[in-house]
C-alpha cells in the first residue's frame, strides 16, 4: 500500500491550542472584531547550537491540520463547562470554517533567523487560534531536520540511520522526527510506522537479546543468517567484539552464507572504543577475505562524536544515531514565535510592531515578502531580503543591502537572480498546496543545501548569512519605533 502521508488525520487536533487563544478569541468576538483581518508571521530568533542555518520542515502536517479544523459537539461541551464562553461564542465556533490565506517557505529549504517562514492573513479569531499548533508543528520538525543536517554533514558521505524512536519524547516525536530527519539527508529509519506512513527506507537487524537467548553467539548469528541471508548484519558487541563477535561473524560468513552463494552484509558495534574496535574489526575482516563487509557503529552518537571518529581514522562505513538526533539533545528547542505584523481597516493594511527593551524581541511590521538572492554564476545564495509586499526587485540592476541594526554596513549585489521564498499554501481557506513525496522533499533539500557556502555550514563560528530589510521596510520600522519611544 502506498504511503498516505496523513499522520495528523488520526484525530481532530483543533483543540490543541493554548487556552488563551480561545479566551482572546471570545474577547474579539464580544467586541465585534471577528471579521477584522490580521497578519501574523511565524519566524525564529536563533539557529540551534549556534549553527549557520536551519532547515524548514513540517509544512505537510501543518496543511493536514488546517484542512481538518472544526469544533465537535464534544469540544463545545467541554468549552462550555469551563465557564469562560457564552452560547453566542460557542455557536460561532460551531459554524467555524477556516478562511485564512497562508504562505510558507517550502520544506527542505535552508532558513535563517528573523525572516517569516510562515505567514497567515485572515479573520483575527482564526489567525490567532492556530498559533499553538503551527508552532509545535514547524518548531519540532525544523529542529530535528536542522540537527539531522549537522549529523549527515559530519558523516561525510557515509550513511546515517535514525535509530531514536524509543528515546523520542512521545510517539509524534518519534514518527515525525524520523520524517524530518529523512528530509535533511538521513538514509533510513528503524521506526516502522514512519516507513509505512511516509515511505522512508527501513533499517534494523537484531538486539542483544537475540544473541543472549541462544546457547552461543555463533548459534545466534547462524540462525539470523539462515533467516535473512540477503541482508545479514550481525551485532558483535554482546560479549567481546574482537575475541568473540567478529570471529563468530567471520565463521558465519564462511560456513553459512558463502556455501549458499550469499555474502555477509555487515557488522554493528554498539559499545566500547569505536575507533579502535572498528579498526581492528576491519583488519580481521580483510584478513579473512571479507573486505566487502561494512561496519556500522551506534551508541549515543552525534555530529561531534562522528566528526571525531572520522578524524581519528575509525573504519566505520555507516552510523546509527538515536537519542541525540531524535531529541536534538544538545539544544532541544527551536524557538519559533508567532507575532502580529499588521491589521486591515477600511481596506488599508496598517502595520503593527512589538517593542521591547530586548532588541531581539522587537518585531518587523507590515505584510512582508522574503526574497533570496543567488549569484548568477555560482548559484550560491548571497543574502535574503525582507520587503513590504508589492516591492519589486529588478534583477538587471544592482541592489544595495544593509545591516538593519548597523546600517553603515552595506553591500551592493550584482549579477544575481532572485527568488520569492514564501509560497501560497491556502487561499481564503482553500488548500492550494501541492503534496510532494518525502523523497522529493529530501532531494530538494540536498539541492538547496548545495547553494550555501561552506563557511555557513561550519559547526563552530559559522559565517553569518545576511538577512536584511529593504529600505522601505526599514523606514516604516524606524518610524514606528520613533513614534513609540515613550513606550520603550
Task: Identify the pLDDT of residue 358.
Answer: 84
Give CA separation, 453 vs 158, 375, 425, 449, in Å: 21, 11, 29, 9
Longest dimension (CA), the chain: 85
Say whether 156-326 and 13-144+332-487 share the same fold.
Answer: no
CB 135 within 8 A of CB 151: no
Spans of all domains in the chain: 13-144+332-487, 156-326
pTM of the entire structure? 0.96
Instruction: Give the ranges where 12-72 is alpha helix by DSSP (H).
Output: 19-30, 59-67
Class of the CATH domain delimited by 13-144+332-487: alpha beta
The CATH number given to 156-326 is: 3.20.20.70
Cell of 7: 499522520
Q: How far apart are CA 103 and CA 123, in angstroms?
A: 15
Residue 342's Cα: distance from chain center in Å? 27
Give CA separation, 442 vs 129, 134, 461, in Å: 31, 22, 26
DSSP 245: I
Cα atoms in the 13 Å half-sphere on the side-chain side of 463:
11
Q: Give the helix/strand (H/E) hosting 454.
A: none
Nearest residue to 56 via CA among 346, 436, 317: 436
SS percent in the chain: helix, strand, coil, step 5: 40, 20, 40
CB 234 within 8 A of CB 205: yes
User: What are the pLDDT tens digits along the chain (488 aa)?
Assistant: 445 555 555 568 999 999 999 999 999 999 999 999 999 999 999 999 999 999 999 999 999 999 999 999 999 999 999 999 999 999 999 999 999 999 999 999 999 999 999 999 999 999 999 999 999 999 999 999 999 999 999 999 999 999 999 999 999 999 999 999 999 999 999 999 999 999 999 999 899 999 999 999 999 999 999 999 999 999 999 999 999 999 999 999 999 999 999 999 999 999 999 999 999 999 999 999 999 999 999 999 999 999 999 999 999 999 999 999 999 999 999 999 999 999 999 999 999 999 888 888 999 999 999 999 999 999 999 999 999 999 999 999 999 999 998 999 999 999 999 999 999 999 999 999 999 999 999 999 999 999 999 999 999 999 999 999 999 999 999 999 988 876 55
Cell of 303: 555530529
Q: How far apart are CA 187 and CA 176, in angstroms?
A: 15
Task: Identify the pLDDT of residue 357.
Answer: 83
- Within 10 A of 479 (CB to CB), how many other CB atoms are there? 13
- Spatial strand order of the sheet with 188-189 comes to 188-189, 159-162, 318-321, 294-297, 266-269, 233-235
Task: Identify the pLDDT of residue 8.
Answer: 53
CB 388 within 8 A of CB 473: yes
Amino acid at each position: 500500500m502506498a504511503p498516505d502521508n496523513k499522520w495528523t488525520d488520526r484525530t481532530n487536533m483543533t483543540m490543541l491550542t493554548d487556552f488563551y487563544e480561545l479566551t482572546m478569541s471570545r474577547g474579539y468576538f464580544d467586541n465585534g472584531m471577528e471579521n477584522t483581518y490580521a497578519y501574523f508571521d511565524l519566524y525564529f530568533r536563533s539557529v540551534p547550537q549556534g549553527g549557520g542555518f536551519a532547515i524548514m520542515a513540517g509544512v505537510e502536517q501543518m496543511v493536514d491540520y488546517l484542512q481538518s479544523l472544526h469544533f465537535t459537539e464534544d469540544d463545545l461541551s467541554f468549552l462550555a463547562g469551563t465557564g469562560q464562553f457564552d452560547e453566542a461564542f460557542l455557536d460561532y465556533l460551531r459554524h467555524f470554517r477556516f478562511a485564512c490565506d497562508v504562505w510558507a517557505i517550502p520544506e527542505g529549504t535552508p532558513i535563517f533567523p528573523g525572516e517569516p517562514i510562515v505567514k497567515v492573513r485572515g479573520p483575527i479569531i482564526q489567525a490567532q487560534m492556530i498559533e499553538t499548533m503551527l508552532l509545535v508543528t514547524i518548531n519540532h520538525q525544523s529542529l530535528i531536520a536542522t540537527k539531522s543536517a549537522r549529523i549527515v554533514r559530519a558523516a561525510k558521505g557515509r550513511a546515517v540511520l535514525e535509530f531514536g524512536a524509543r528515546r523520542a519524547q512521545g510517539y509524534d516525536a518519534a514518527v515525525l522526527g524520523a520524517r524530518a530527519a529523512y528530509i535533511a539527508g538521513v538514509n533510513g529509519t528503524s521506526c516502522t510506522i514512519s516507513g509505512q506512513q511516509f515511505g522512508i527506507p527501513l533499517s534494523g537487524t537484531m538486539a542483544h537479546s537475540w544473541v543472549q537467548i541462544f546457547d552461543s553467539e555463533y548459534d545466534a548469528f547462524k540462525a539470523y543468517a539462515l533467516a535473512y541471508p540477503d541482508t545479514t548484519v550481525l551485532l558483535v558487541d554482546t560479549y567481546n567484539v574482537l575475541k568473540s563477535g567478529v570471529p563468530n561473524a567471520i565463521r558465519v560468513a564462511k560456513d553459512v552464507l558463502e556455501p549458499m552463494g550469499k555474502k555477509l552484509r555487515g557488522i554493528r558495534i554498539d559499545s566500547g572504543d569505536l575507533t579502535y574496535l572498528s579498526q581492528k574489526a576491519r583488519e580481521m575482516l580483510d584478513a579473512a577475505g571479507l573486505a566487502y563487509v561494512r561496519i556500522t557503529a551506534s551508541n549515543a552518537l552525534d555530529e561531534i562524536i562522528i566528526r571525531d571518529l572520522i578524524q581519528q581514522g575509525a573504519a566505520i562505513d555507516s552510523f546509527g544515531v538515536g537519542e541525540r538526533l531524535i531529541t536534538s539533545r544538545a539544544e532541544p528547542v527551536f524557538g519559533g514565535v508567532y507575532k502580529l505584523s499588521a491589521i486591515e481597516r477600511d481596506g488599508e493594511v496598517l502595520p503593527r510592531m512589538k517593542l521591547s527593551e530586548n532588541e531581539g524581541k522587537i518585531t518587523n511590521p507590515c505584510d512582508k515578502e522574503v526574497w533570496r538572492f543567488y549569484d548568477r554564476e555560482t548559484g550560491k545564495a548571497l543574502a535574503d531580503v525582507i520587503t513590504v509586499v508589492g516591492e519589486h526587485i529588478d534583477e538587471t540592476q544592482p541592489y544595495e543591502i544593509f545591516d538593519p541594526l548597523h546600517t553603515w554596513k552595506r553591500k551592493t549585489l550584482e549579477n544575481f537572480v532572485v527568488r520569492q521564498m514564501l509560497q501560497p499554501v491556502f487561499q481564503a481557506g482553500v488548500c492550494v498546496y501541492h503534496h510532494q513525496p518525502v523523497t522529493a522533499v529530501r532531494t530538494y533539500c540536498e539541492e538547496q543545501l548545495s547553494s550555501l557556502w561552506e563557511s555557513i555550514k561550519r559547526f563552530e563560528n559559522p559565517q553569518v548569512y545576511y538577512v536584511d530589510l529593504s529600505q522601505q521596510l526599514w523606514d516604516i520600522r524606524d518610524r514606528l519605533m520613533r513614534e513609540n519611544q515613550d513606550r520603550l
